Amino acid sequence: MPILFCNVGWMNHYNGIGSDSIERGGKYNQHSTGHEVCNFSNIVGTLYGYVQPTGQIKIEKLGAGKKDDSVSGVTVVWTAGPESGGTVVVGWYKDATVFREAQKITKPSAIQKKNGVSTFRIKAPADKAVLLPVEQRELMIPRAVKGGIGQSNVWFADKEESQEIVNRVTSLINDGVITALPDVDQSQSILEGNPRLVAHLRRERNSTIVKAKKDAILLATGKLCCEACGFDFKEVYGEYGDGFCEVHHLKPLAKADGVVKTELGDLAIVCSNCHRIIHRTDPMLSISKLAKHLQRKRFQLGDPHGRCAGFIAQHR
């Protein structure tokens, strides 16, 4: 099934302006209300979607003939920009019909009239559409990079380097909503609407990456010590702490959009306490800054060499 990505302004419900509002999404939305405000308004079993392309939508890229006015059977993925930055999937239409030119709504509904929505470019059965709740909009789509969305609001994702992104989106559509992450000393309200942070945490919990980092450090040093404070779980907890540590991704959230290839040098070994402290700071502390801070505190406490592991080990 062909796939089309459409970038629009950010809304919670896309069911008209009222308790909801439209944010970002281009210059037009800065002075007027975009037609996408009713993209998920159920009009007698049909959704009428709008996106602002540059000229026509080139539906021949979706399998239509050059003289066709529309093409059916398209999966349309709606994206928008959350307040925290980046571009995320907000929902999708399955089995949609995409039109080359904007179509006039001949008999607009009450909600369409109220919001000044008079045209559409895509329509789909309401029962084949999904609008993700705000807290589940965490799948990042890269923009202005090779393989990602460019400056246009319409993206066909038809390049080879875009396939990994398409696969991830298809998996989300077919397999359902991504499971929420366990707490990492971040309240749910902080995680909601911040897909960059969620993506960052998911990379840190990739078991393959974590194991590879641990193996590399054990081979090089023979132990797993926190790079910020020096804590060694095995030294303190003995066999219960053998092989245990946490792994922190060093790349800042601003670079966390989309598909990111992680090298072992992008990761740091940390203890649970330091990891939580890093994640509760904004912007996140670097390992070196936290290490310097801890060293200053140790001098203030008259313990320049640190007690994190050795002191506890002596008093077990």
pLDDT of residue 310 exceeding 70, the answer is: no
Helix (H) or strand (E) holding 301: none
pLDDT of residue 45 exceeding 70, the answer is: yes
How many angstroms separate the most distant Cα atoms in the chain? 82
Provide the token pair at 296: 């200053």
pLDDT of residue 305 exceeding 60, the answer is: no
Cis peptide before 195, with omega less than 30 degrees from 0? no
Nearest to 98 by CA among 14, 5, 163, 168: 5
Residue-wise pLDDT for 128-144, tens only, equals 999 999 888 888 888 76
The domains of the chain are located at 3-175, 188-314
Residue-wise pLDDT for 243-295, tens only, equals 999 988 887 544 445 445 667 888 899 999 998 899 888 788 899 999 999 99
Match 């740091």 to its residue by tokens: 268
* Contact call for residues 143 and 162 (beta carbons, < 8 A): no
Distance CA(233)–CA(238), nearest Å, equals: 7
Provide the token pair at 75: 């999966």
> pLDDT value at position 231?
94
* Contact call for residues 192 and 135 (beta carbons, < 8 A): yes
Residue-wise pLDDT for 147-166, tens only, equals 778 788 999 999 988 998 89
Whole-prediction pTM value?
0.62
Provide the token pair at 159: 């390049």
> pLDDT value at position 220?
92
Q: What angle do CA 137, 139, 140 make, to 5 degrees?
A: 115
Distance CA(13)–CA(39), nearest Å, equals: 9
pLDDT of residue 237 exceeding 50, the answer is: yes
Distance CA(206)–CA(141), nearest Å, equals: 19
pLDDT of residue 205 exceeding 80, the answer is: no
* Contact call for residues 84 and 193 (beta carbons, < 8 A): yes
